[in-house]
Structure 1
Amino acid sequence: MRWTVPNILTVLRLLAAPGVAVAFLYFQRPYADWFALILFVLAAVTDWFDGHIARTWKLESRFGAMLDPIADKAMVIIALLVIVGYSSMSPWLVLPATVIVFREVFVSGLREFLGAQAKLLSVTKLAKWKTTAQMVAIAVLFSRDIFLYHLLDRTQGMDAATAGSVPTGAAADGAGVLWLAQMRDVAGIAGVTLLWIAAAMTLITGWDYFRKALPFLKEPA
């Protein structure tokens, strides 16, 4: 293996994947959410940079081709587990997350079974858009929880009547609660919507890979 810049970035992205979950073991919220969001976004950015650098500088390698999709899947799956776990198992998140994880495991199994023929399941443009949608959705959902915890911090000590009257304009918003509540709602709706879009794209690309693999799954005559 050559320790080229793209390979180093890919390895760092792979190591960052468990860091997203570990952050919640050592930091209080919302600091854990901030750490996870920053780490996830940096890792997602390196996903574009390592591929771009590898193609531009002619540094493509078999090691990078093998590890890059593994790092992407590790980042997405671990981040989804964290988000779903801290969402009280909301069905709006559990269902698309389940679809995404199932597809990733299924396609990985297909590639392993096909062996030398696995090149038939090369990454398509739609699959790349699928990965982008997943990562954007996850980043937005992390930001939703950041807004939520800052909102809870600013409303701490308020009685229920005062906290409820601020959004309606009946009480002055001296603590900046209203915009936090609005951003939490916007990020929540946008994040869930993007995750469902990513899940739909995940199903389409998964079916496309399965269709291409079907001839190799038939029993010999």
Structure 2
Amino acid sequence: MNLPNKLTILRIIMVPFFVFFLLTDLVDGSKWIALVLFIVASLTDLLDGKIARKYNLVTNFGKFMDPLADKLLVCSAMICLIEMDKLPSWIVIIIISREFIISGFRLVAADSGIVIAASYWGKFKTVFQMAMIIVLIADLGGVFDIISLILIAVALALTIISLIDYVVKNKQVLTQGGM
């Protein structure tokens, strides 16, 4: 197993620890531990892609598991943020629905021997979602409350735009996939 794939697996392993520290106060500064874990996990997403492309280590495992690891991290964080009353559930439902739709799309494509890699819209969406989560967890108040609202709006817009982009660019998957 190559380094980018190991980083993807590490990101998946970090999720339960992140959730634990975010939702508990067993340790002083649990929120900050959760924030650091989220940032480190997010950086592994950046690193695994750069390493895979630079050293020609792109694999079908990575193309499939990297987006799933991102979804697990981001969706777990957003569900926690609902419980913490920092993010409206309707926004999270829209974002998670998009993730299920794209995952289903990828499964249909994979059944036809097609691997759909992440698009730039999808990558922008992930970056803005991660930034939104970081600002919401940090909860610094003041101007950051306005920044968090802007990040929520942009992340939601990019979620919808990237969904439309995937469907339009890959509509042949639906026709070739026997649907």
| TM-score of Structure 1 vs Structure 2, range by shorter chain | 0.7 to 0.9
Where does the alignment leave 5 or more consecutive residues of structure 2 unmatched? none
Report sequence identity in percent: 32
Residues of 1 paired with 2:73 and 2:80: CA distance?
A: 11
For 2:169 and 2:82, how far apart are their aligned partners in 1? 32
Correspondence 1:103 to 2:98: yes
Q: Which residue does the alignment assign to 1:200?
A: 157
Shift of 1:215: 4.4
**Partner residue, 2:8:** 10
Instruction: Say which SS state the counterpart of residue 122 (structure 1) adopts.
Output: coil
Which structure: larger Rg? 1
Q: Deviations over 1:108-130 (max 9, x none)?
A: 112212322643x4321111111
Contact 1:14 1:74 survives alignment (8 Å): yes
Q: Please say which of residues 92-101 and 189-198 is displaced more in the overlay.
A: 92-101
Are the equivalent residues in 2 in contact too, given 1:141–1:192 (CA < 8 A)?
A: no
Aligned residue for 1:64? Answer: 62
For 2:126, which of 125, 131, 143 is the aligned residue?
131
Distance (Å, rounded) in 2 between the aligned partners of 1:93 and 1:25? 17
Matching residue of 1:84: 82
C-alpha separation in 2, matches of 1:193 and 1:125: 20
* Residue among 188, 195, 211 paired with 2:168: 211
Cα shift at 1:23 = 1.6
Task: Kindly indicate whether the alpha-carbon contact (under 8 Å) linking 2:121 and 2:165 is maintained by their aligned counterparts in 1.
Answer: no
1:116 matched to 2:116? The reply is no
- 16-25 vs 66-75, which moves further: 16-25
CA contact (8 A) 1:96 1:196 kept: no
CA contact (8 A) 2:15 2:72 kept: yes
**Distance (Å, rounded) in 1 between the aligned partners of 2:62 and 2:165:** 24
* Contact 2:18-2:37 within 8 A present in 1 as well: yes
What is the letter of the counterpart of residue 17 of structure 2? Answer: G
Aligned length: 176
How big is the shift at 1:213?
A: 4.4
Which amino acid is 2:95 matched to? I
Query: CA shift at 1:57, angstroms?
Result: 2.1
Q: Aligned with 1:58: secondary structure?
A: coil
Q: 1:34 aligns with which of 32, 35, 38?
A: 32
Aligned partner of 2:66: which letter?
D
Structure 1 residue 18, shift from structure 2 partner: 2.2
Please give the secondary structure, in 2, of the residue aligned with 1:59: coil
CA RMSD of aligned residues (A): 2.3
Structure 2 equivalent of residue 177 of structure 1: none
2:146 paired with 1:189: yes
With normalisation by structure 1, the TM-score equals 0.71
In 2: Cα distance, 1:107 partner to 1:138 partner: 21
Contact 2:98–2:160 under 8 Å retained in 1: yes
Find the aligned partners of 2:129 and 2:153 in 1 and give their Cα distance: 9
